[in-house]
Amino acid sequence: MSLYPSTHHLPLPARLLAAAGALLAAAAVALSAYAAHAAQGEDAQRLHSAALFAFGHGIALAALVPRRPRMFRTLALVLLLLGTLVFSGSLAGAVLSGMTTRFAPIGGSMMILAWVLYAADALRR
């Protein structure tokens, strides 16, 4: 038995969520490095916030994928992925390409809803 669980036996949607989580974490490291070395002031703060949320939620996605298919839990994790992409993407997009951050609250709300759905699923039998 391996020290680390394998994802090879998981259904494709669960493997995709785990891979997306790992990619979010990788992007967070890159954003954080850029914020530390190339951005200043409010731009650096926005990028650090984007990186913090992308990293934390990326790790959560990679760790929380259901071992057995569960529609409610999978829906919560997909919503968590989308919310993180919208929230962190909005903050990073504002710094890197001058986009607006008006979608950040939508992404944040999606993440909150995703965590509530995940909690509800955890309480279900």
Instruction: State percent of the chain over pLDDT 90.
Output: 74
**Is pLDDT of 9 > 80?**
no
| pTM of the predicted model as reported, rounded to 2 decimal places | 0.85
- pLDDT value, residue 6: 59
Alpha helix positions (H), the chain: 12-37, 41-64, 71-97, 104-123
- pLDDT value, residue 78: 95
More confident residue, 89 or 9: 89
Q: How does pLDDT run across 45-87, given as a tens digit for each residue?
A: 999 999 999 999 999 999 998 877 788 899 999 999 999 999 9
